[in-house]
Structures are given as structure tokens and as C-alpha cells.
Structure 1
Amino acid sequence: MPDDGVIISEKLATLLNARKGSSISLKNSAGKTYRFKVKGICEMYLGHYVFMNQKEYARATGQKYAANAYLVTMRRHELQEVNRISRKLVKTAAIETVISNSSNRKILGSYTGSLNEVIFILILISGILAIVVIYNLTNINVAERIRELATIKVLGFYDNEATMYIYRETIILSALGIIVGFGFGWWLHHFIITSLPPDAAMFDPNMYPFNFVFSALIPEIITAALAVVVHHKIKKINMLDALSSIY
């Protein structure tokens, strides 16, 4: 811990628009305001915290440091047992309040649980939309170029080559969509993660390789699955009927 400043939690720094080297003003329960220099920012996901050593506390407040809280580690970590002991402690005249890490984790879990449900619905809707769009566009492409497909099959193209003749455009567009989606998705992810949580909590704004891999696998699987459907459809093209049709 620094001797000439404090370390504050990340969400508190965001709300105060503070960064390393800046000064902040904090008011205690008696209404007196103190100024501190920010020497560092730590990663905390629930609540707001200011950390300082005894020397900095005495310098800033003009009072001698005296502990007024205890860190208690319970042998049984079940939420029900923690709540029971917490209520028992609060009933005593010596304890003003009890802050439980288990309760904090439960509160943060409720935030992330709701967000996960929304994200799952968005992924599901996006997947259905991708299936409808790719399938319809490919069907239109095949229908408009059926004589062309029949011609290249007559010339000796295999079914796989005929499928790639049509579906290569879809594969290229899907790859470009994934690349563009990485950039737009990163911005959208950062916007949601920083805007959605309440003032007392924050989510991890970082992106990890698994995020990009998983988001790329979804359109790749959809594109590959529809390629199988298109391949079977091209195999069933009646070349004689297609070439003898009059437009």
C-alpha cells in the first residue's frame, strides 16, 4: 500500500472520472470531506472500495488509526449458514452491519444470470435470421442460374464442383461477415458490458479468444449445414428439363 495515496476500485474510479495521479474528495458519515490522491486502481466487481495504509489514514484525517471491523472466515460456507450467523451478529449491540461475500456473489450472479438469458435469446434469433437469409438467397441464386448449372454439369462438372460454383459466393460473404462482425461485436459488447450494470457493480469488459472462436463457429456451422442442403438440391437438377426450358 502506498504511503502518500489510496487505491480505489475500478467502478468507483469510473463514476468519479478518476485515474492514477488524480485527486478525489470523499465524505465520511459525519459529513466531513477529505481529499486523497489516487495512486492506483484495483479490479473489483461489486461495491466501491478505498484502500489505504495506516500512515495515509492518519495524514488525511488527522486521527490515529483504529480498527473498527473484522474479517471473519467461517468454517461452513453455505449461504444459509452465513445468513444465520449474520443475523445473529446483527442482533448484538456490538455489531452495526455485516457484509457477506456470499451475498455479494449471489447479487452479482443475479445480474449476470439475467444478462446471459438476454444474450442467449439474441444468439438464437440471429441464428434463425442467418438460416432464413442464406437459404432464401441461395435458393434464388440456384433458381436463376439453373440453366447455367445444367450446362456445366453436362460439360462434365461433378456435383461437388457444381455446388461450389454456386456456394462459393456465400462462403466468401460469410467469411467477410465474420470479420466485420468481430469489429462491430467488440464495440457492442463493450457498450453493453459498461452500460448495463448498476452503479454498485461492474462486469468484466475484456474480450477473450474463446469469445471470437465461439462467435465465428455459429455462422460457420449454419453456412456448412445449408451447403449440404444446397448440394442435395443441385444433385437433383434435371439437366434435360433445365436446358429445354424456354424463358
Structure 2
Amino acid sequence: MTDQLHFAIADRIATITLNRPEKLNAMTPAMAAALVEAVGECNQSDAVRVLIVTGAGDRAFSAGSDISTLDAYTTPWDFRNRQDYCDALRACRKPVIAAINGYALGGGLETAMACDIRIASQNARFAAPEIKLGWIGGGGMAVGLAHSVGMSNAALMLYTGDMIDADRALAWGLVSEVAAPDQLMARARAIATTIAERAPIAAETAKLNLRAAHQMPYDKAIEYERDLQAICFGTADAAEGRAAFAERRPPDFKRR
């Protein structure tokens, strides 16, 4: 790990905090490696049911990759095959919530879009500014925007590189909610707590199902959903859920 990325687990909720506020939480290779390691721990740990990703301070979630580190790549091919922090978040099996405080620019926007649920502070700002520097995003920028805000709005962001504010991001569907800055983490934790109380295998399966629904043909997605439902139905947690319902008590899910 690195001091520039904090990782903590409490009450079945893991939190990754990008901790470089003086540089708008811009990602270095060391931070990317630490994030990959933290997500790997989340995937393997039964103590984690939900992950929250946020940035330190109130100015930025993340300004993306630290541009000053990019010249360290010897060739464009080395750059293309770098360890990508967005890939790590997309590979997280647990539900992931982005608590977006301030700027989410470039790779920071891609980081947010790699999360399942996005909650923004009122001071959040979003942009795909790479075009202003002579390149385009490479961590899922275009596909993330196209799926989140639609083709026309995605084109506006990609072709201009200009920022949008939290209210527009909400109206376009880029985020689910906008919260006051001092309430952002409380709201993210409230959502995480609710998810952590649900059956964890079902939550992880719902994540698989949602992604499949987004990518598969309609009929195949329904078929896949029924297969996933059958798998969930056979778990001990599903049996516990039925028993708790019959006995009129809260269920005690064990991820089994």
C-alpha cells in the first residue's frame, strides 16, 4: 500500500480513499497498484460486502492519472499495457459506490463510472478533458459515457472536454443522487449499510446479472437471469431468507 491511498474495513464496508488532495487526488502508478491490491482483498474477504471509493478533501474525487508520470512509459505500447485502476474496480465482485466530492476528471471520471452506484456532492464537476491535451480516454471513457448519458451527451463531453456540474450529471443519469458536501459520505455509507444487510451472494449475483442485461441480447439476458436465480435459490442464505420470512424475523445472512 501507499500513504497516498487509504484502505479500511468496518461494519462489512470497505473504503478506498485516494489521498493526494494537494494534487487533486491524481493517480500515480503506486496508487494504482495499491488500489488493485485493495480491490483484490475486497474480492477475497467475507468481511467485505460493499466497497466505497472516494477522494480525500473537498476539492476532488480524482483528476485522473498524474500527467507528470506519463512520460515514464518508454513506448506507447508500454502505456497501453499499464496496470489500469479502472479495470480493477470493474473486476470487483462486490457492489461498489463512488462518493464523488469535487472534480472527477479524465481517469477520475472513468474511476467513478467503473463503480456501480455514483453519489455526487453538490460541488462535483465532471469532464473528459483528454482531447484538450491531444489524446482520448482509455479506461472506459467512451463506453461509460455512452451507456450513462447517451450518445449525444457523451459526444458533447468527449469532443469538447468541457466540464458539467452535478445537477447536469444528475439530469443526464451520470449520477444517482446529489448530496450536500457535508452529507456525501453519510449518504454513501447509508446506501452501503443497506446493501451490506442484504444477502451478499445475491448482491454479487445481481451485479453480474445487471452487467449481462446491459450487454446481452434481450432473450439471452432473461435466460442468463433465470440461471443466476437458480444458483442463488440453492444457497444457504436463500434458505435463511425463506425461514426468516416465515418466522417473521430479520434474516442472518452468512454468504453461504
> What TM-score do you get using the length of structure 2 for normalisation?
0.19
Greater RCO between the two (CA within 8 Å, min separation 6)? Answer: 1
Considering fraction of residues, name the structure with more strand: 2
> What TM-score do you get using the length of structure 1 for normalisation?
0.20
Considering fraction of residues, name the structure with more helix: 1
Structure with larger Rg: 1
